[in-house]
């Protein structure tokens, strides 16, 4: 089995509720909020100081698109695209083919791919705001925080807790790789 890791720099687009976009460099594994902070869109040096956490809560209603381009030196007939952790609601596309929808940030997601082509390939993950995904659902009883978190399979403490600030975000928070049994295949970043 040959394993190509696709971690590192990705292109990230944040889409505000009003449709305005922000483009930044992202890091995988990571999160959209971390990418915003590292890209300098917010002038915050310590996210945990005073009300700084509240200043970035506007990003929890954004949708995010993670894009990775890579080059294969030959066609690969088949392989597996493996995401160790996708947080949380998202659609995955490979070379503009929809591979699947994910809604659980605690499990590995594996997709069979048969269209890895010689030359440039495109991997895209469209994340949807966890806040918007649960908006309008029947309220549930819960402790410490808003109950919208009870509908979402992702770290619950990010919605705020007695010991944590509210940092609801999304992103590719685990390793990404392509696995194939075809020998002699090489992949590099585009």
Each residue's pLDDT tens digit, 52-69: 888 888 999 999 999 999
Q: What is the pLDDT of residue 184?
A: 59
User: Which residue's structure tokens are 């994340």?
Assistant: 127
> Taking the model in full, what pTM does it have?
0.89
pLDDT at residue 2, as a whole number? 79
Measured CA to CA, the distance from residue 74 to residue 52 in angstroms comes to: 48
Determine the average pLDDT of the residues in 86-104: 95
Q: Percent of the chain beyond pLDDT 70? A: 88
pLDDT for res 120: 93
pLDDT of amino acid 56: 86
Give me the phi and psi of 152, to 5 degrees please: -115, 130
Instruction: Tell me which residue of 174, 190, 187 sits closest to 73, measured CA to CA.
Output: 187
Could you tell me if 171 and 154 are in contact, meaning their C-beta atoms sit under 8 angstroms apart? Answer: no
Give the pLDDT confidence score for residue 28 in this predicted structure: 98
């Amino acid at each position: 089995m040959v394993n190509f890791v696709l971690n590192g720099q990705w292109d990230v687009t944040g889409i505000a509720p009003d449709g305005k976009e922000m483009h930044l460099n992202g890091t995988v594994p990571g999160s959209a909020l971390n990418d915003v902070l590292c890209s300098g869109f917010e002038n915050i040096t310590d996210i945990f100081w005073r009300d700084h956490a509240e200043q970035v809560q506007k990003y929890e209603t954004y949708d995010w698109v993670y894009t990775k381009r890579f080059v294969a030196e030959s066609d690969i007939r088949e392989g597996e695209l493996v995401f160790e952790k996708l947080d949380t609601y998202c659609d995955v596309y490979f070379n503009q083919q929809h591979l699947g929808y994910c809604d659980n940030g605690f499990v590995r997601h594996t997709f069979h791919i048969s269209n890895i082509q010689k030359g440039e390939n495109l991997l895209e993950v469209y994340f949807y705001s966890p806040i918007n995904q649960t908006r309008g659902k029947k309220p549930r009883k819960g402790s410490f925080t808003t109950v919208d978190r009870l509908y979402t399979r992702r770290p619950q403490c990010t919605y705020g807790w007695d010991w944590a600030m509210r940092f609801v975000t999304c992103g590719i928070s685990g390793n990404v790789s392509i696995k194939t049994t075809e020998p002699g295949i090489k992949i590099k970043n585009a």
